[in-house]
Amino acid sequence: MAYVHVLRGGLLESRHLVHSAVVSSGGRLLASTGNPQFASFLRSSAKAFQVQPLIPHLGALGLNNRHLAIAMASHAGDATHVETVLELLQMSGVDSSWLKCGIHSPFDETTRREMRVIGIKPTVLQNNCSGKHAGMLAACLAKGLPTQGYHLPNHPLQIEILEIIQKCFEVSDIGVALDGCSVPCFRVPLEKAALGMAKLAEPSRQPELALGLEQAFDAMREHPHLIAGTGRADTVLISTQANLISKIGAEAYVGVAVRHSSHGNIGIAMKIEDGTERARDIAIISILEQLGVLSDPNALKPLQTSITKNHAGLEVGEIRAAFDLTWH
């Protein structure tokens, strides 16, 4: 089995099971850890697919790849993120009061502290999924669909998104539930999830969506800060490594698309079974390193091993990957 180990004084204290699948753009399972058939919710890793209905209408709405990036983001709620969401709303004619994503404090620690000091309460704009919701509403307006209930599973937009997920991941029987931001989220086996990411790496494998998948990949590469934020894994990976995009989902899920690797164009899907995020970044970087797809591994050292300290500031242990890929 594949684990991330939590060590104390060099001795094993806890461990987190890692399931993953690495798939070629042609659909062949290349490598894995744990159970590559493990079914898990894509969560925010699905955003490049959920945004597809908006992409044909970007030009007519006056939007560009910055706005597309924020529509795919799990952003940290810093000033740049909020300003970009506001641009998307204003340019597409969407009112922020229509967003059904809910309210939480920004993930960005500096922004959160500054807001607390000056007494500003968070709004829907700081929600990490506000860009996705703004993009969905913009798509509704552009397509002549009702904005009321845009987030519900029976809305025409969400039905279209489910069909896109079914096509790209080649799964007809998809588990559907509500995500943390109240739109549908999708449960598929990791091998099929990796296939979907491989199609982001090689969009011609999904001809009817090829232009949209290509633009989604390009927008994430062009605007890595908008996708997550300072110091966060997606932004660090995209901005420091060539030819890949990364999209994290909640409960320690990650999807990665890689172009021009020694294995060809590939997709990777990974899930820490117990949902523990402290193991997530360490595990996915180990997988990417073992695949030989990192152009600058040294840039990822802050994310590769986590030193644990006690309340007195003493180093008491570390968290590190303890597995090898199984090759198929």
Using 50, 70 and 90 to split pLDDT, how confident is the model at 240? very high
Number of Cβ atoms within 10 Å of the Cβ of 177 = 10
Residue 303 pLDDT: 87
Residue 304 pLDDT: 80
| pLDDT, tens digit (0-9, with 9 covering 90-100), for 5-53 | 999 999 999 999 999 999 999 999 999 999 999 999 999 999 999 999 9
Q: What is the mean pLDDT of residues 242-261?
A: 98
Instruction: Specify whether the CB–CB gap between 248 and 254 falls below 8 A.
Output: yes
Q: How far apart are CA 214 and CA 48, in angstroms?
A: 10
CATH, range 3-314: 3.40.710
| pLDDT, tens digit (0-9, with 9 covering 90-100), for 116-174 | 999 999 999 999 999 999 999 999 999 999 999 999 999 999 999 999 999 999 999 99
Name the residue ranges covered by the structural domains of the chain. 3-314
What would the 3-class secondary structure string for the chain be?
A: CCEEEEEECCEEEEEEEEEEEEEECCCCEEEEECCCCCEEECHHHHHHHHCCCCHHHHHHHCCCHHHHHHHCCCCCCCHHHHHHHHHHHHHHCCCHHHCCCCCCCCCCHHHHHHHHHHCCCCCHHHCCCHHHHHHHHHHHHHHCCCCCCCCCCCCHHHHHHHHHHHHHHCCCCCEEEECCCCCEEEEEEHHHHHHHHHHHHCHHHCHHHHHHHHHHHHHHHHCHHHHCCCCCHHHHHHHHCCCEEEEEECCCEEEEEEEEECCEEEEEEEEECCCCHHHHHHHHHHHHHHHCCCCCHHHHHHHHCEEEECCCCCEEEEEEEECCCEEC
Whole-structure pTM value = 0.96
Residue 283 pLDDT: 97
In the chain, pLDDT over 70 holds for what percent of residues?
Answer: 100
In the chain, pLDDT over 90 holds for what percent of residues?
Answer: 98
| pLDDT, tens digit (0-9, with 9 covering 90-100), for 278-298 | 999 999 999 999 999 999 999
CA 4 to chain CA centroid, Å, is 21
| pLDDT, tens digit (0-9, with 9 covering 90-100), for 171-212 | 999 999 999 999 999 999 999 999 999 999 999 999 999 999
Strand partners, 267: 23, 257
Residue 305 pLDDT: 74
Residue 200 identity (one-letter amino acid) = L
Residue 301 pLDDT: 87
Q: How far apart are CA 125 and CA 118, in angstroms?
A: 18
How buried is residue 19: exposed, middle or buried, by Cβ count under 10 Å (0-12/13-18/19+)? Answer: buried
What's the chain's average pLDDT?
97
Q: How far apart are CA 39 and CA 29, in angstroms?
A: 15
Q: What is the mean pLDDT of residues 78-91?
A: 98
The answer to whether residue 243 scores a pLDDT higher than 80 is yes
The answer to whether residue 302 scores a pLDDT higher than 80 is yes
